[in-house]
Structure 1
Amino acid sequence: MKQSEQIKHMEDHEIRTQLIISQFVLIFISLAGSFILFDSFFRDWLRLFAWDNQDILYYGVLPGLIIVGVDLLLIRFLPPSYYDDGGINDRLFRNQSVTFITLISLMVAFAEEILFRGVLQTSFGYLIASFIFALVHLRYLRKPVLLIGVLLISFYIGYLFHLTENLVVTIVAHFIVDCLLGLVIRLKSEVGKNESTG
């Protein structure tokens, strides 16, 4: 069964539950991997997190906003079919509260960044971590625009980590992208409801 068909047969709460479980699996893999790959579990994790306002602004917030801006421009000018991900993002965000979108975006950003940048990139390098990140998004394989977008974002965020060696920076960038695009989906859904009832 195609993924889009599977999504149609799932309730919204099942999609949310599956996403949350997958993020806990990524966190578990990160912790297990770091026990094996890091020289010192606690020291190596601590050195990857630094609160540097300037780095967070220039390498986290601004790149996140640039990614969202480019994405919104492409969504505006490209046919909707180019951005069809099987309905997952729409089902995940369309009827959710701002609080839920914020928290789930933070969870995804944290879980994915500690694995792909924190464990994989520090252990195997920038290229391998960026390719693995893109491979995890296999649902985009038949969608060239989405696949290229994920590849570019993966390499961009990986490069930000390469420059700063700071997971706070990449978590912030990743969070901004997911949260703002999630809020856009929610807003479109609200506008659509108002137009259909108006």
Structure 2
Amino acid sequence: MKKINFKRFRIRKIDPSELDDRLLLINLYMTQAITFIIGIIIVLFQSQSLIDLLRLPDRLSAWGWALLFTAAVLLLDFLIARWVPEEVTDDGGINKKLFRLRPLWHIAVLSFVVAVCEELLFRGAIQHALGPYWTSILFAAIHVRYLRHWLMTGMVFAISYGLGKMYLLTGSLWTPIAAHFAIDFVMGCLIRYGKDEQDGEG
């Protein structure tokens, strides 16, 4: 039997410019599919009802909380973008590469897929076992591209913690899903249709 030479496999940092659009999308969708499957497995092992977990909220206030939280996050992001140097919020160019030439419908699809998959795993499954604080530490840790900057890591943690608290408050997973979707969608649209990108393309 032929032996596998594990020394040939090396982990190295990838420059975003090395990723073409197809590879970036394949990586994103595969990562989210794995996230979704792990989330379902954990939920089932916890003896939670997946149907109950994904039931739409019966109160309009659940959507109201999502809207309010989205507005607060976008306002905070606006203030950070205005007063903090750009290098502090740099994610290595991944978000720009992902959204800058994406059609609107695809920004919506990407935002929805990420919101559903990540919230099912983190709020629906992991938070059920660890609570919002430790879940948010884990959530911030997986967003590796922000770990170089304490401000962005802190913001990701705060957003995650807020999503977790909203889930506890409303009892509906769709509240953090809706907020997560709206935040990602608006951010994606700002990258796609923002003045800086338009100036750069002209």
> Above 0.5 in TM-score?
yes
Q: Which residue of 1 aligns with 2:18?
A: 9
Indicate conservation of the 8 Å contact 2:101/2:192, yes or no.
yes
Indicate conservation of the 8 Å contact 1:56/1:172, yes or no.
no
Q: 1:78 aligns with which of 84, 90, 94?
A: 84
Moved over 6 A (4+): none
Helix, strand or coil at the partner of 2:19: coil
Cα deviation for residue 114 of structure 1 reads 0.4
Establish whether residue 171 from structure 1 lines up as the match of residue 177 from structure 2: yes
Establish whether residue 69 from structure 1 lines up as the match of residue 75 from structure 2: yes
The 2-side partners of 1:46 and 1:64 are apart by 26
The 2-side partners of 1:129 and 1:182 are apart by 25
Q: Which residue of 2 aligns with 1:192?
A: 199
Q: How many residues align?
A: 189
Q: 1:25 aligns with which of 28, 34, 45?
A: 34
What is the letter of the counterpart of residue 31 of structure 1?
A: I
Cα deviation for residue 53 of structure 1 reads 4.6
Helix, strand or coil at the partner of 1:95: coil
List gaps (5 residues or longer) in structure 2: 1-11
Q: Which residue of 2 aligns with 1:153?
A: 159
Indicate conservation of the 8 Å contact 2:108/2:185, yes or no.
yes
The 1-side partners of 2:68 and 2:186 are apart by 13
What's the C-alpha RMSD, in Å, of the aligned pairs? 1.6
The 1-side partners of 2:156 and 2:187 are apart by 14
List per-residue Cα deviations over 1:30-57 (Å, max 9, x = no partner): 111122122x5xxx22222333352233
Q: Please say which structure displays the higher CA radius of gyration.
A: 2
Indicate conservation of the 8 Å contact 2:146/2:152, yes or no.
yes
Q: Which residue of 1 aligns with 2:106?
A: 100
Cα deviation for residue 138 of structure 1 reads 2.3
Q: Which residue of 1 aligns with 2:120?
A: 114
Percent of aligned positions with the same letter in both sequences? 30
Indicate conservation of the 8 Å contact 2:62/2:170, yes or no.
no
Indicate conservation of the 8 Å contact 2:39/2:120, yes or no.
yes
Question: Could you tell me the TM-score, scaled by structure 1's length?
Answer: 0.89
What is the letter of the counterpart of residue 191 of structure 1?
A: Q
List gaps (5 residues or longer) in structure 1: none
- The structure that is helix-richer by fraction is 1
Question: Could you tell me the TM-score, scaled by structure 2's length?
Answer: 0.87
Q: Which residue of 1 aligns with 2:52?
A: 47
Cα deviation for residue 73 of structure 1 reads 1.9
Helix, strand or coil at the partner of 1:125: helix
Indicate conservation of the 8 Å contact 1:60/1:172, yes or no.
yes
Indicate conservation of the 8 Å contact 1:55/1:169, yes or no.
no
Helix, strand or coil at the partner of 2:37: helix
